[in-house]
Structure 1
Amino acid sequence: MKKTITNTILLLSLLFTIYSCSSDDNEENNTVAFRADIETAVFEGATVLAGISDEGRTLEIAALNADGTVSMSVNIESTQVITANTTYNVDEDGTYILYDTLEESYIVSLETGGSITITEIDSTNMTISGTFSGILKEFDTMDEKTLSNGTFTNLPYININ
């Protein structure tokens, strides 16, 4: 899991680095490829990166909102190649969801429960789609929030092998 969190931090760092360059492109494209409901708020990823590594057994998605103040990541680490039409439950070994604001950090973990479902992988066009949900728990205060209706649609990915 340490390797996955390190890779997620690298992806988020890359998001912050390219944020200003990609925001111009997003103005022309009104399709939201990554979104989720957090209680009554809506998170929309304005800048989103996805990578598949470890010979297809690890998926990492990192998203940053339009003003760069909120991020979310969805991570799957599996013993098998990640496939479409498969649900991955959050666990202690690298399948989890993170949600970070400027003030708070939350995680969907084995303790709180959640899942990530891959609905489609297009290896020709290198895009991935899926859904996710769970209960977010804040790291310090242990407050909980419901994460629902999470989707990523035709999200371009890169191979990181």
Structure 2
Amino acid sequence: MKNIKFLPLFMLLFAAFNFTSCTQDLEPVDPAIVIPDPTDPTDPTEGEFKATIDGSQYTASTTLVYITGGAIQITAVRPSGDNFGFILDGTATGTYGSVDNILTYNPAGSEFGWWAVNPEDGEQNVGSVIVTEIDTVNQTISGTFSFTGYWSDFEDTSPPAPKQITNGVFTDLPYTTDSPTNDTFFAKVNGVNFNQNNLLTAVISVNEVEVISIGVENANGEAMTVSVSTELGVGSYPITGSLNTDGVQIIYTNAAGQEGTATSGSVSISEVTDDRIKGTFSGNVTIGSTTYSITAGSFDVAY
């Protein structure tokens, strides 16, 4: 089973609800968002975000809401550092259930957290976020939420007990439509620009290999994931088809939902720090009888 890891002080969530086997493959991201460091918020709370956690009151001091081309990301943090993070697959009012969306609560300073997925039954609905209003004039969002959170380290033989999140409400939270982290991603597929409208950068563990995965999706339903081992520094790394051997990989999903893994190409890292990575990539992915040539790839993202 693949683990989802939360970075210290905050969460970079990978949409991994379809992770069901211990293979080398990484699933493409849908939706995709990167969540900024709450210790340096770009937009202080002007509205209200509250919830009850196992009977105790939670009130956020800082929130950040980012609405992309295809998703809503809501982040809420209180002074002690524990935080909520939601990634909702849509940009309209309505109910967003736990099966198709990401709902999490993360303790301060922990790599793992409680997220709304039952490890015994990933298809069980264990909660939801209801977006009741999106005020496009004042750029605020309101709604309610509740869910049961399960510990995200599925390999933990003595995980903490699930948490009951109830009475959740957020009212008039200001939102932005500009990326709070200034991340960029570009690529061409068979010579056509891949115009992504959702992007997520996450650190995940796959077969004991920790990788930085950069996932994007466009309006046509195509998705792409570029993964780089956290052990790699500046340099160029060839792709042969094995993430464990190469430390790098590209996965592409076409508009029909068919997925393929690159067996040739390369990923080059030009800059890497403790929280940001920049580079270029190219590769060839064959799905059925069709080869997709990925060229002019570049990324500059926080992780």
TM-score (norm 1): 0.75
8 A contact 2:31–2:89 mirrored in 1: no
Residue equivalent to 2:106: 100
Query: Does the CA contact (< 8 Å) of 1:12 and 1:63 recur in 2?
Result: no
Counterpart amino acid of 1:50?
V
- The one of 161, 172, 183 equivalent to 1:154 is 172
Secondary structure, aligned partner of 1:11: coil
> Aligned-pair distance for 1:108?
1.0
Residue equivalent to 2:162:
144
Residue 83 (structure 1) aligns with: 92
* Alpha-carbon displacement from aligned partner over 1:29-57 (angstroms, at most 9, x marks no partner): 7xx61111111222211010001002xx3
2:106 and 2:31 map into 1 onto residues whose CA distance is 14
Superposed CA offset, 1:6-43 (max 9, x none):
73xx4241x22238x95xxx7xx7xx611111112222
Aligned match of 1:135 in 148, 155, 166? 148
Q: Structure 1: which 5+ runs fail to align?
A: none
Which aligned segments of 4 or more residues in structure 1 are displaced greater than 4 angstroms?
2-6
Shift of residue 146, structure 1, vs aligned partner: 0.9
| CA-CA distance at 1:83 after TM superposition | 2.2
Query: Could you tell me which residue of structure 2 aligns to residue 41 of structure 1?
Result: 56
Q: Give identity over the alignment, percent.
A: 26
Residue 11 of structure 1 pairs with residue 11 of structure 2: no
Q: 1:122 to 1:37 in 2, by over 3 A?
A: same
Distance in 2, matches of 1:17 and 1:5, equals 24
Q: Sort the Cα spacing of 1:138 and 1:112 in 2 relative to 1 into closer, same or farther, 3 A.
A: farther
Secondary structure of 2:170's counterpart equals: strand
In the alignment, the residues of structure 2 paired with residue 158 and residue 76 of structure 1 have an alpha-carbon distance, to the nearest angstrom, of 15
**Alpha-carbon distance between aligned partners in 2 of 1:5 and 1:52, rounded to the nearest angstrom:** 11
* Alpha-carbon spacing, 1:130–1:107, altered in 2? closer, same or farther (3 Å): same
1:74 aligns with 2:74: no
SS in 2 for 1:18: coil
- Alignment partner of 1:63 is 2:76: yes
Aligned Cα RMSD in Å? 2.5
Cα deviation code 1:98-120 (max 9, x no counterpart): 11113551001354611110111
Matched position secondary structure for 2:41: helix
Given residue 108 of structure 1, which amino acid in structure 2 is its aligned partner? Answer: A
Q: Match of 1:58, as an amino acid?
A: A
Determine the C-alpha separation between the residues in 1 that align with 2:84 and 2:36. 9
**TM-score normalised over the length of structure 2:** 0.42
Counterpart contact for 1:98–1:107, Cα < 8 Å: yes
- After superposition, give the CA deviation of every residue in 1:121-147 in whole Å (9 maximum; x if it has no partner): 100100000001111111231621111
CA contact (8 A) 1:112 1:135 kept: no
The reply on whether 1:117 has 2:123 as its aligned counterpart is no
Query: How far apart are 1:153 and its partner, in Å?
Result: 0.3
* The structure with more radius of gyration: 2
Instruction: Tell me how far apart the structure 2 counterparts of residues 4 and 125 of structure 1 sit (CA, whole Å).
Output: 28
